[in-house]
Amino acid sequence: MSACNNNINIIRVAETDSTSREIVRVFECSRVREDISVLVADYQTAGRGQQGNSWESERGKNLLFSVMLWPRGVAVKRQFRLSQAMAVAVCEAIKELRVESPESRVQVCIKWPNDIYYGEKKLSGTIIETTWAGDMVERCVLGVGINVNQQVFCSDAPNPISLFQILGHEVDRDELLSDVLHRFVPLYKYLMAGDDDEIVRRYISYLFRRAGLHRYCDADGEFEAEIVDVAADGHLTLRDTEGRERCYYFKELKFEIY
* Cα 39 from Cα 11, distance rounded (Å): 5
pTM, full prediction: 0.92
Note the pLDDT of residue 103. 73
Note the pLDDT of residue 3. 47
pLDDT in tens, the chain (258 residues): 344 455 688 999 999 999 999 999 988 766 656 678 999 999 998 765 544 555 567 899 999 999 999 998 899 999 999 999 999 999 999 999 999 877 778 899 999 999 999 999 999 999 999 999 999 999 999 999 999 999 988 876 678 999 999 999 999 999 999 999 999 999 999 999 999 999 999 999 999 999 999 999 999 999 999 999 999 999 999 999 999 999 999 889 999 887
Fold of 2-205: BirA Bifunctional Protein; domain 2 (3.30.930)
Note the pLDDT of residue 8. 85
Note the pLDDT of residue 4. 45
Domain 214-255 bears CATH identifier 2.30.30: yes
Q: What is the residue extent of each domain of the chain?
A: 2-205, 214-255
